[in-house]
Amino acid sequence: MDVMQCAIMRTFLASLTLFTCVLILNAADVYPELTTLDGKTYRQVKVMKVAPTEIRVMHADGFSTIPLSELPPEVRSKYGVADAAAEAAQAQARQQANSQAAMLQRQEKEALQLLDITGLPVQTLKQAIVTRDWCQANPNGGMLNGATVSAAAHAELMAQAMATLNTRRSTPADAPPATPPAAAMPPPAAPATGIPGFVPGVIQILSARYSLPNEAARNVKNRFVKLVPSGVINAPVSIQVTDQLSDAALDQGNFTASTGAGVAVTDGTVTVGVAKVVTQELGRNTLTVEYMYNGQRYKKQAIEGSYIVLP
């Protein structure tokens, strides 16, 4: 075996040893039940991965990661020596990764919500959101993409990002009118134009629930959306809250009892007494609406017979 072959073989053996230390798949590592030192019990456990600080297992309820320090001594001895400092560093790295993933998910969702409102490409919106978030987290400037951002440049970046996010799609003058609601539904008030101080925007209904007396709220989003003008509005809209939002509410009522004079005839004898009269009156139901307007989330309520004003 020449020198080159020996070098290749040594490299292969070293890589194999490192791989074995970091990832061990062993079908024999199966436990009917495994209880950790902190009292958690897992059933039908199969070890899927072994790392220097933890093991990854599949069990009856899903997947879990267990630090070596939480394993019983007789089990821990099979996978290595617990290192509290290394476990803490691993937990911190995982927390940072989860926080980063949650932030990216939030930024993606916000960009999609602003897509129709601004008319800008989603990638442009995402970049503006990332820049805005960085500026908010670093008010005095700092390092961004390997370059130093001064206080003056920080203010300019923030202004550019906010200008992008505050962009609003223009409405063509000859845009067709919105589809009128069904005949059974009360028509919304047509928004006026030119209201001083009103910021135009698009109402995006997230949920609408109609609460009946003594019953769970009903989902009435599909009917309520028909009452909301589509496209950009230039003034608040008022929508009357009625039982037309829910078929179940049409026959729903509250019962009240009242007393009054009553007359009973028994064997020719007239007796005057007090009788209780039960009457039915309409219930006062409540509409709860959650919606987005210009990138902000809102929640409003209105009782039956009144008007809910959006935004």
The answer to whether residue 156 is domain-embedded is: yes
Give the model's pLDDT for residue 280: 44
- Note whether 278 and 213 are same-domain residues: yes
E-state strands within 158-228: 203-211, 218-219
Indicate yes or no: pTM above 0.85.
Answer: no
Host domain of residue 213: 203-310
Which H or E run includes 224? helix 221-225
**DSSP 3-state of 14:** helix
- Note whether 212 and 277 are same-domain residues: yes
CATH number at residue 66: 2.30.30
Look-up of token digits 């290394």? 86
- Note whether 237 and 287 are same-domain residues: yes
The answer to whether residue 273 is domain-embedded is: yes
Query: Residue 45 phi/psi, 5° resolution?
Result: -90, 135
Question: Number of helices (H) and strands (E), helices first, in the chain?
Answer: 7, 14
Which H or E run includes 261? strand 253-266
Q: Is the pLDDT of residue 38 over 80?
A: yes
The answer to whether residue 184 is domain-embedded is: no
The answer to whether residue 182 is domain-embedded is: no
The answer to whether residue 90 is domain-embedded is: no
Q: Given pLDDT bands bounded at 50, 70 and 90, which one contains residue 169?
A: confident
The answer to whether residue 185 is domain-embedded is: no
Percent of the chain scoring above 90 in pLDDT: 23
Give the pLDDT confidence of 271-285 residue by residue, as tens digits: 434 444 444 444 578
The answer to whether residue 194 is domain-embedded is: no
Q: Count of CB atoms within 10 A of residue 220's CB?
A: 21
- Note whether 119 and 53 are same-domain residues: no
- Note whether 210 and 305 are same-domain residues: yes
